Amino acid sequence: NSIFAHVVRAPEDPILGVTVAYNKDPSPVKLNCGVGAYRTEDGKPLVLNVVRRAEQKLVNDMSRNKEYLPIVGLADFNKSSAKLIFGADSPVIQENRVTTVQCLSGTGSLRVGGEFLAKHYHQRTIYLPQPTWGNHPKVFTMAGLSIKPYRYYLPATRGLDFQGLLEDLGSAPSGAIVLLHACAHNPTGVDPSPQQWEQIRQLIRSKSLLPFFDSAYQGFASGSLDEDAQAVRMFAADGGELFVGQSYAKNMGLYAERVGALSIVCKTADVASKVESQLKLVIRPMYSSPPIHGASIVATILNDRDLYNDWTIELKGMADRIIRMRQQLFDALRARGTPGDWSHIIKQIGMFTFTGLNPEQVSFMTKEYHIYLTSDGRISMAGLNSKTVPHLADAIHAAVT
């Protein structure tokens, strides 16, 4: 008898489990609207041209080797990542008030930041928007923080619960950590307006709350890298402290390379360098040092004018295709006379549409139409194309009528 006979089977991950179920379905019309990965109009995964070109450059450069990176990762990558999120002429960079460390994509950046906070910060509570990306509560709990929700989404309007957000953050204890989606909120696709961001900033600063941005979609929301960084830059500009985790999974299509960065903005350069010394003590016992390949690709693209320009064009191409899919799905539902107001499909931002479909309707769509999505009704727009939109619209129509 095994010494592990008592181990109970864990449930599938609620998001990745959707793909597991999809893969098992033999239907030729099956459609995966679960996982947040970009597909081309032909339904294929996309490796960006600039990524291929950067990889060619790396392969041909015989001076490169596979020695260990430092604990904090590739210096060029860290510097360029800070410039990308804060802006090249940001005072936090010029004054050396930010420490940036390479991490294992967005998830790893959040985890390293969470571990650092649990060890060195006086407030152990992190407020998460409700709803939020399903991994957030797990990442921060495992890091040793306790999680609390703040109101974010109003089902009635399928928009922001701004009043609820201000009330909940307004009654948070001084110093509490607040997780903010930098843009393209997952799963709702609902972002605050610039004016609302400014009010959120004032509230956070007046209560000495600590903002922790999760930036997983820079450039993917609007098609503009600068525009999608505006919320982070607004907070960086006021001289206060903040955390930001960056992911290159979506905006460079580097999902499996696991390349991202954690930046911590501090009041002084001296504090920032001490913070970095402690980040090394967090990282070393977890995985020693990060992998080199993805970070080299990113650094190559960010430091080459031509590659960078071509990247912004390819990125905008992805963002625009997603926006077209929103319009097509909206038009298809209107053409079918599907009951309800579906304008949120074209108002929401980023990779996902939060349809408002309930778990029964979702399971009906899976059973009758072989369409796979998370039970909260979230649809990944990035996986749709002109050929699959009609099938999805038929399913939604049938589910709500």
The site string for ligand PMP over 79-118 (x = CB under 6 A, - otherwise) reads --------------------------xxx-----------
Catalytic residue list contains 250: yes
Closest CB to ligand PMP among 35 and 279? 35
Least distance between ligand PMP and beta carbon 60 (Å) = 28
Contact 396, 339 (CB under 8 A): no
Q: Dihedral (C-alpha) 242, 247, 252, 255: value to the nearest 10 degrees? A: 180
Name residues contacting ligand PMP, limited to 306-345 (CB under 6 A).
Answer: none
The yes or no reply on residue 247 touching ligand PMP (CB under 6 A) is yes
Which region, judged by CB under 6 A, interacts with ligand PMP, from 53-61, 247-255, 326-334, 369-377? 247-255
Name residues contacting ligand PMP, limited to 249-308 (CB under 6 A).
Answer: 249, 255, 260
Catalytic residue among 214, 228, 376, 394: 214
The yes or no reply on residue 361 touching ligand PMP (CB under 6 A) is no
Least distance between ligand PMP and beta carbon 29 (Å) = 26
Buried b / exposed e over 116-131, threshold 16 CB at 10 Å, is bbbeeeebbebbbbbb
Closest CB to ligand PMP among 299 and 332? 299
Measured between alpha carbons, how far apart are the two ends of the chain, in Å?
53
Catalytic residue among 191, 250, 311, 394: 250
Closest CB to ligand PMP among 311 and 342? 311
Name residues contacting ligand PMP, limited to 32-71 (CB under 6 A).
Answer: 36
The site string for ligand PMP over 125-164 (x = CB under 6 A, - otherwise) reads --------x-------------------------------
C-alpha–C-alpha distance, residues 75 and 273, integer Å: 14
Residue in the block written with tokens 């053409």: 335
C-alpha–C-alpha distance, residues 273 and 266, integer Å: 9
Least distance between ligand PMP and beta carbon 143 (Å) = 14
Closest CB to ligand PMP among 183 and 333? 183
Closest CB to ligand PMP among 84 and 333? 84
The yes or no reply on residue 188 touching ligand PMP (CB under 6 A) is no
Closest CB to ligand PMP among 243 and 342? 243
Q: Pick from 102, 186, 380, 388: which binds ligand PMP (CB under 6 A)? A: 186
- Surface-to-core class of residue 254, CB atoms within 10 Å of its CB (0-12 exposed, 13-18 middle, 19+ buried): buried
Closest CB to ligand PMP among 133 and 354? 133
The yes or no reply on residue 214 touching ligand PMP (CB under 6 A) is yes
C-alpha–C-alpha distance, residues 383 and 150, integer Å: 30
The first and second tokens of residue 105, run together, are 């994509």
Active site amino acids: 133, 214, 250
Interface residues toward ligand PMP, by CB under 6 A: 36, 105-107, 133, 181, 186, 214, 216, 247, 249, 255, 260
